[in-house]
Structure 1
Amino acid sequence: MLAIIAALAVQTGGSDTLVTLCNETPARAAFSVVRPGDDGAEIQRGWFTVEPGACLEGNIGLGRAGQAQVHARSGSFVWPAQGGAALCVPAGSHDGPVTHPPCAQTWREAQFALVTTGWRENRHHVRYEINCRDLPGDDAALCLEGRAGPDGHAARLRELTVCNRSSASLRAAVAGETQARSGQNVTGWQNVAPGECMSVWRQFPYGPELYLRVEHEADDMMAAGESAYVCMPEGWTARAHGVGRGECPEAGHVPVRFQIVRFRDGVDRLRLDLGP
């Protein structure tokens, strides 16, 4: 399926820039394109919303040969996920000039993929495609799940980061409700070195809270606050499945205390600083 972008500029000299933006993910995605301008400036155009499995094509104004730069996002997923070039863009606009880092206070830094412009139908041509397999680690599989939010874009992920402010290593494990609410998916132990911050949970949310357990030299190091007991397989160290909270009726399971971490409405990312 191919949709058409309405022309954003009237031909007054130079050559138009034709873009073809393709979305091979299972959710809507938004694209922003920086074209090499006819006068040497770098001009950003966006956002262009592309439906899943579709391409969007059209003219985004006068340009010149060289490298265009493209950024795309859907929910928490961003392309390019790695590499590319950093540009400074206005926080509230995607239609105008861009600059290079360091960014002014009211601008933000974003990563753009470098795309060499081609030539098609007497116009400069930029083609860019996004795919779930281009995402790193577990994000590729999460993207392929196709879970969408109310706006049709990918549902946002929930991410918990732990920062170790102590002088010794600690280990953290996180439990979160399963989609079927049949228990908890639990990570294996993740070692966080002194002074290091680590993302210990990055998943779609299936409830308002997560369960965090932190140990330092095998001692309980959890912060004061509300806690819950999750029924865990005896001797668990790697990824596991908890069978509920409270008492453990199933043989081979023991109650393990986890700290409850709640996310407020509209909050996708939390950071916990742990230490003395």
Structure 2
Amino acid sequence: MAKAGKSMQVGGTKKTVEQVAKTIFVTLMFLFYMIPFFMVIINSLKRKVNIVKNPLALVDDKGFQFVNYVKAFTEMDFGSAFFNSILVSGVSVILILLFSSMAAYLFVRTDWLACKIFFALMVAYMVVPFQVIMIPLVSIYGNVFGILNSRATLIFMNLGFGTGMAIFMCHGFIKTNVPMALEEAAKIDGCTRPQIFFKVVLPLMKPILSTILILNLLGLWNDYLLPNLVLGKKNLYTLPLAIRTFYGTFSNDLGKIMAALVMIVAPIIVVYICLQKYIIGGVVAGAVKS
């Protein structure tokens, strides 16, 4: 009995040590990963000369320089750029969620050959790099159709580039997590196909749709390349484009750049915190074999 108790005590101590070691390791990795973010915040409160001279210093020689935020907000026309980013990202994500969920539902619940072909094509086009088609795309939309410098055009392009992955994730989720019995019961109660989708299927897709929302919102909010190709007028700039105000030919205003970066990242962090409980479950559910 004594030996068994001693063995259990040793085993419990060993398990505790392993847990402590894992906690320390994860904490150190977290701190290492967050160093760039902390540096941006710290340097956003310093003058350019101190950022260049001593970027690791926690405080500027003259104290915190909150004036960087005031100047960045004014000079980059933050209000207009924020509205453009909200409009483009918000509308794009809503359309991606709506059309992707509807298309995935059709692909799963119908046995048409056309659906199988279109689903295969959508999965296949995800491997095509955007950089390969960006020049022909801009040339066609600009020279042939002449519809560049438009938020609607950018939203349309975001919808086209974002639906492939979203449909793939929704397809796997519906196939493995939405039972046919619920749809059959709703059909017996007199629901039409659209009613079954919007009242039964769509509410069950909340985890995967939340995951798609945050992934696409992160990508679209921080996207620089495509808006730079489509939007040429300053009043249409999104936030990543508006930061170019502080980049000069021979020098950059680092303090204002850091302040602008913090203001751009803050809304996304809030959205992520609100939806984080759905992200892991949604990714796992959507990754099940379809």
- State the TM-score, normalized to the length of structure 2: 0.22
Higher relative contact order (CA 8 A, sep 6+): 2
Please identify the structure whose Cα radius of gyration is greater: 2
**Hey, which of these two has a bigger chunk of helix by percent?**
2
**Hey, which of these two has a bigger chunk of strand by percent?**
1
